[in-house]
């Protein structure tokens, strides 16, 4: 395989947690980012660092460049590229992020980590896979974000791509 697969990383519901019971707050730390309080997961950064051996990470979030302005410093992550989005995708792309993802990814293998994937994303992933572009959607629970479960699913998928690309693999 010439390059690592892409891992598209959302922030809200993956790294910035919400929707948890007030009396059962997950591990993390509170930060004010652009005047908004965010509980940043105490586990997600370590999982993302683990995944960097198998993936090329890209911010895929409405935060756009602000993810890279704030999160590396707050979480000890490296700087990452980010996608910019057209907020009015039109009829051809029902989910507001798909056009930018297609433009960035082309036919490279892509895993997308997000809490707000919808049926349009499922249709898009099936269509990409049908044309030979390996695609994995990984949904998170916004109250827990990226956990060891999602990390292991992603790592297993990426390693499976490497094994299937070896000469003689089926």
Q: Residue 109's closest CA among 3, 20, 23?
A: 3
Question: How does pLDDT run across 100-111, given as a tens digit for each residue?
Answer: 999 999 999 999
> To 5 degrees, how large is the angle CA 116–CA 119–CA 121?
70
Tokens in use for 165?
A: 């690309």
Domains and CATH numbers, the chain: 6-164 (3.40.50)
Question: How does pLDDT run across 28-75, given as a tens digit for each residue?
Answer: 999 999 999 999 999 999 999 999 999 999 999 999 999 999 999 999
Tokens in use for 64?
A: 């756009």
Q: Taking residues 5-22, what's their average pLDDT?
A: 96
Question: How does pLDDT run across 77-98, given as a tens digit for each residue?
Answer: 999 999 998 766 555 545 778 9
Q: Residue 109's closest CA among 128, 96, 92?
A: 128
pTM attached to this predicted model: 0.90
Give the percent of the chain with pLDDT over 90.
Answer: 82
Give the Cα separation of 108 and 128 in Å (integer): 10
Mean pLDDT of the chain, nearest integer: 91
């Amino acid at each position: 395989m010439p390059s690592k697969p892409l891992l598209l990383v959302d922030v809200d519901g993956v790294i910035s947690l919400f929707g948890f019971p007030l009396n059962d707050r997950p591990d993390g730390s509170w930060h004010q980012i652009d005047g908004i309080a965010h509980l940043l997961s105490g586990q997600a950064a370590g999982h993302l660092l683990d995944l960097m051996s198998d993936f090329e990470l890209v911010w895929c979030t409405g935060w756009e460049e602000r993810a890279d302005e704030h999160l590396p410093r707050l979480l000890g992550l490296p700087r990452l590229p980010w996608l910019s989005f057209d907020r009015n995708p039109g009829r051809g792309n029902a989910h507001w992020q798909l056009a930018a993802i297609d433009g960035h990814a082309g036919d490279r293998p892509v895993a997308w980590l997000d809490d707000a994937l919808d049926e349009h994303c499922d249709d898009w992933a099936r269509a990409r896979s049908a044309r030979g572009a390996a695609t994995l959607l990984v949904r998170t629970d916004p109250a827990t974000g990226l956990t060891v479960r999602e990390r292991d699913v992603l790592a297993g998928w990426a390693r499976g791509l490497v094994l299937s690309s070896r000469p003689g693999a089926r």
